[in-house]
Amino acid sequence: MTAPRLRIGVGCLMALAIASVAAAGAQPSAIREKPVSKTGGVVRVTDFGATPGDQSDDTAAVRAAIDHAVKTRARRLEFPKGRYTFAPAEATRPGRILFQVQNAGNLTIDGMGSEFIFSGISGCFWFGGCRNVTVCNLTIDWDRMPFSVGKVIAAARQSFLVQVRPEYPVKGGEPVGAFMEYDAETELPAQNGLDVYNAVERTELVGPQLLRVHLTREIPVPVGRLVVLRHQVYSYNGFTADRCTNMKYEDLTLYTVPGMGFVSIVCKDVTLRRCAVTVKPGTHRIMSATADASHFGGCKGTVRLEGCRFDGMGDDGVNIKSGLYLTVKERVDDHTVLAAHNLKMADVPDAGDTMEMSHVADLIPYGLATVVKAVNEGGPEGLHRVEFAEALPEALQPGDVLGNATRTPRVRIKDCRIGPNRARGMLLQTRDVVVEGCTFTRCTSAGVLVLTEVVYFFESIGTRNVTIRNNTFIDCNYGAAGAGGALCALAWLKDFAEPPRPGVHRDIAFRNNRVIGTDNCGIYVSGVADITVTGNQIEQAGRKPTGPTGSAAVYIRSSSGIKQERNRIPTDKQGEGFKTAVEYGPGCEGVVEGKRG
């Protein structure tokens, strides 16, 4: 099974790998003499030679202003309102993040309503080791989108022809990391359409805006459909924060970016307020960011999102995880193991972190140990040497996985709108979560997916104390990266096996949500100890079930402490494949049913 065909979707590429992109850039050459500024003062980029609206490259001037603001411990870095252009020569070479902010503290970066236009393939801002930094009031866009849109006019066994729309100029030779099928009339991801990664050998210009896409394998591409060709999928993000504390993003809009919108790696306390990753109004674009709108890996403290709008992404709206499962390769001694991520990505725990130990056969923790020291030894296997304070349990054996139970930020998400987009609205893999008052529309996978898995990405961890309440799910879970239902709590073991018994997740509550329109279940639950499903309204479930469980509005299996009551599931308002309101599969224990709503 190859990654592009996985139901979990390729778009969950680890943010830890994303953060490894080099943040270095060329030093400013011709800039104005640095003005004198007092500690704690205000720095304006225009004082360093940035001139909004003149189409010249402002990169060097802004780098100089950033360096000066950090050096003088300025309290504000301001961009007087206007249009700033960033087109340095190195942006044409992948591997760059243009603006690096290192060890800043108590700084507000205020765009003052400005628009930033980037060129080439590069990331925008990287923050390392910063504290109390706020970024606000700016818009980001690209002069040439990192994707193209066109109609398939012919197809062969290992190639297809795309008539690319004029607003996406092509010259041949463009890389394509992924392509996806869209409905030509609605311009939304096609129902159960193609969603293909890592299959393009090369592209060739054979006529004006006519691109031949050569494939590495045989793929039946339907003629007449729209396709989106993502020339860059990951790595070059709008805002990346690495080991920062109290990062705030407010009133920011990203119309596109060749990667993810907001990425946080091992940060403490991150807030997004009124931020948008969205298709630019007044254009014919059908994609925004090429990957996730927001991605949080290994954070602590609280992750908070309020009043955000995410649509058009090539992947999830929100992905929050404790990190990556490390598979035990060798038990070196009673306190030490060699372990590695299955894709050889790095996720080194800190001294003092608590690691949970689980067998992959059930992903239920059987042991805990505190890290004394951990190093990434690298090499072809990507080995991590992890030393623990406590003696290792006798049950620990090669093939077991370690999940970081310390890097589990609490999450508070309120009044956000997500979709249409490829994949999930929210992917939640942490503990102490409340999602409320949000709307999910035409997410091709679940609107909310509470998940942990050891199928491909090995993203951790089993969740605890998650409440999803007073949200609306409209036409979710109909295509790419699909799950069991529009609202899910589940785990995937090897080869997508379901948990054999409860306990992967604990204390999950789905309360007073509205699910209107979905091909399979409205709500799907698997592997949960203490699950509450109450007060939910489900209509038009089971429209086109893709499996036997999809004909139930609510399906629960391998779970215990089940409280299912007051759910409103009118049988005359369901889809054509609907058979039953609530179905209990194998492995259920302790069912308490109340009255129907």
pLDDT at 469 over 90: yes
| Cβ neighbours of 589 (radius 10 Å) | 12
Residue 96's pLDDT band (boundaries 50, 70, 90)?
confident
Closest listed residue to residue 427, CA positions, set 5, 9, 63: 9
What does the pLDDT look like over 164-188, one tens digit per residue?
999 999 999 999 999 999 999 999 9
Q: State the pLDDT at residue 597.
A: 58
Whole-Å CA distances, 471 to 447, 468, 512, 515, 595: 10, 7, 7, 8, 22
Residue range(s) of every CATH 2.40.30.10 domain in the chain: 323-404
Domain 147-230, architecture per CATH:
Beta Barrel (2.40)
The Cα angle at residue 529 between residues 528 and 533, in degrees rounded to 5: 70
Residue 591's pLDDT band (boundaries 50, 70, 90)?
confident
Mean confidence (pLDDT) of the chain: 92
Distance CA 451, CA 463 (A): 8
For the record, the structure tokens of 8 come out as: 């979990």
Closest listed residue to residue 121, CA positions, set 90, 84, 91: 91
Q: State the pLDDT at residue 475.
A: 98
Q: State the pLDDT at residue 4.
A: 36
Residue 213's pLDDT band (boundaries 50, 70, 90)?
very high
CATH entry 3.90.76.10 includes domain 323-404 = no
pLDDT: which is higher, 516 or 597: 516
Q: What is this structure's pTM?
A: 0.94
Distance CA 200, CA 232 (A): 12
Residue range(s) of every CATH 2.40.10.170 domain in the chain: 147-230
Q: State the pLDDT at residue 89.
A: 72
Q: State the pLDDT at residue 36.
A: 55
What does the pLDDT look like over 392-413, one tens digit per residue?
999 999 999 999 999 999 999 9
What does the pLDDT look like over 261-270, one tens digit per residue?
999 999 999 9
Q: State the pLDDT at residue 35.
A: 60
Distance CA 507, CA 528 (A): 7
CB 439 within 8 A of CB 460: no
Q: State the pLDDT at residue 94.
A: 55
Q: What is the mean pLDDT of residues 456-476?
A: 97
Distance CA 255, CA 17 (A): 23
